Structure 1
Amino acid sequence: MTPTPTIVVPIEVMAGPTVSDALAEFVAPLPVLVLGVVEIPDQTSSTQAREQFEEGASRTIETVAEGFAAAGADVDTRLSFTHDANETVERVVADLERAVVLFPAPATEIEDVVVAVRSDATVPAAASTVAALTQGDESAITVYHAALEDEGNDEIDRILSAVETALEDAGIDPDRLTRTVERADTPIDALVAAANDHDLLVVGETEPRLRDHILGETHERIATGAAAPVLVVRRPAVE
């Protein structure tokens, strides 16, 4: 049985973050960890930073947490003053048995979800996450694949069929599923465009290292380029 994931929400405290009520309500079925991160200069100690900024930073992440709690989520908070925000988020996520990282974006409703998973390793976790978050609603789910021009149809069908089967096994009505394939020279750009045509994107981590693939160039480009919220499903740890 796939363990229940925790939704980790990294918050850049100094950016004055907000999370919409619609997004908070959507993720409320799963436990949420609001991870406030304050990146500090190398010459500043975390102790010094805490003395100066902890009170205000704590108020900020508590305000974000209250939004999730009001939507019914089981919420925890954590605050870190760090010289490397990516490393801190990576460490926190790696310590959890199962984690999904949420990159918030403005959302007034979430009724149309796009799921893009390339790695077989993340299919069960992605499917169970989508099923948990869409239980009881009628949101449409698009199973999406951005294919390279030379990618074979058989491999594309295998990937999409695996995701569709996992979603159905997790309790999703197949009538809610739509399959979309686009061929592109730059799949990341195609995926960002697809995300912008939907209310929320669920994407699977493609490699074991979180820093490189959840918080690194690939998913950072997706998360920063997409106007919709992005959920990145972590690969299971290698036993």
Structure 2
Amino acid sequence: MTETPTADGGEQPETDGTDRPTVLVPLAVLEGESLPPGGPELLANARVVLLGYHVLPEQTATEQAREQFGETAMSKLTEFADRLTAAGADVETRLVFTHDKETTIDRLIYEYDSLAVLVPNSAERVDSVLVALRGTIGVGRNTRLVAGLFADSDVDVTLYHTVGEGESPDDGASFLNGVKADLVERGIAADRIETVVEDADVPIDAIAGRAESHDAVVMGETDPSVTTFVFGMPSEQVAERFLGPVLVVQRERPDE
């Protein structure tokens, strides 16, 4: 695996980015994947790690690929980074040629302490966000992301919870009210937050159905394998059925 040095995506805003959530945006730049419409608006208040990656056949040397394709790939990344910076984001770019996409993305999530990973579907504009919450574990990371991205915007937030086994609708409502209070404390106006509790046989179907009336989805990671979740589990199922972007909030890395 080879990588280019970290590079800035253009002139940076004057803010030091202390309260900005870090979001990893992986793009297969040499396969035509690009920063989708609505991406810059969605991530305007984020610290964005823009990862351009290209997966190589085992027999292809990464150094050879970088010499052959590196300039073209970095040109595309720089173009995307400039769009993000113009919207207000802090941006870092990384270009990686690798034989193992999952391991590369997983490593960079932790290297940058990324709060979330973006599944980059498009959104013409971002007026409303569905935040699907399954339980109390890691919920603080969800509220950090949502408040960090949207506290200074006019985006409406819907907190959504499906009732689990042994849980009553009142339990779910109490849970979401606590999350709402946290978001209000973090700067989101109470009248911009709606709470919805539902008893659903198939939660993923319910989330996908609810997502249709929103511009983006925020979901928490539910599997210890970060990349398996992002690219092969519920978030992918939602992303395949929902045309907008999906932000997958990562679990906090356990102490080693």
Normalised by the length of structure 1, the TM-score is: 0.89
1:178 has 2:194 as partner: yes
Q: Structure 2 vs 1, CA of residues 158 and 135 (structure 1 numbering), >3 Å: closer, same or farther?
A: closer
Q: How does 1:88-237 map to 2 (within 5 A)?
A: 88-147=104-163, 152-237=168-253
Match of 2:35 in 1: 19
Contact 2:151 2:186 in 1 (8 A): no
**Which residue type is aligned with residue 171 of structure 1?**
G
* Partners of 2:151 and 2:76 in 1: CA distance: 30
* Partners of 1:196 and 1:149 in 2: CA distance: 26
1:60 has 2:63 as partner: no
Q: Structure 2 vs 1, CA of residues 83 and 36 (structure 1 numbering), >3 Å: closer, same or farther?
A: same
Comparing 15-24 with 121-130, which one deviates more in the overlay? 15-24
Question: 1:121 aligns to what SS in structure 2?
Answer: coil
**Which residue type is aligned with residue 182 of structure 1?**
E
Match of 1:8 in 2: 24
Identity of aligned residues (%): 37
Comparing 138-147 with 206-215, which one deviates more in the overlay? 206-215
Q: CA RMSD in A?
A: 2.2
Question: 1:120 aligns to what SS in structure 2?
Answer: coil
* Partners of 2:136 and 2:41 in 1: CA distance: 29
Question: 2:34 aligns to what SS in structure 1?
Answer: coil
* Partners of 1:163 and 1:206 in 2: CA distance: 18
2:62 aligns with one of 43, 46, 55? 46
* Partners of 1:162 and 1:118 in 2: CA distance: 14
Unaligned segments of structure 2, at least 5 residues: 1-17
* Partners of 2:131 and 2:191 in 1: CA distance: 15
How far the C-alpha of 1:108 sits from its partner, in A, is 1.5
How far the C-alpha of 1:182 sits from its partner, in A, is 3.1
Match of 1:32 in 2: 48
How far the C-alpha of 1:57 sits from its partner, in A, is 1.3
Task: Please list the CA deviations of residues 113-163 of structure 1 after superposition, one character each: whole Å capped at 9, or x if unmatched.
Answer: 111122423211211221121133222111112346875324423442332
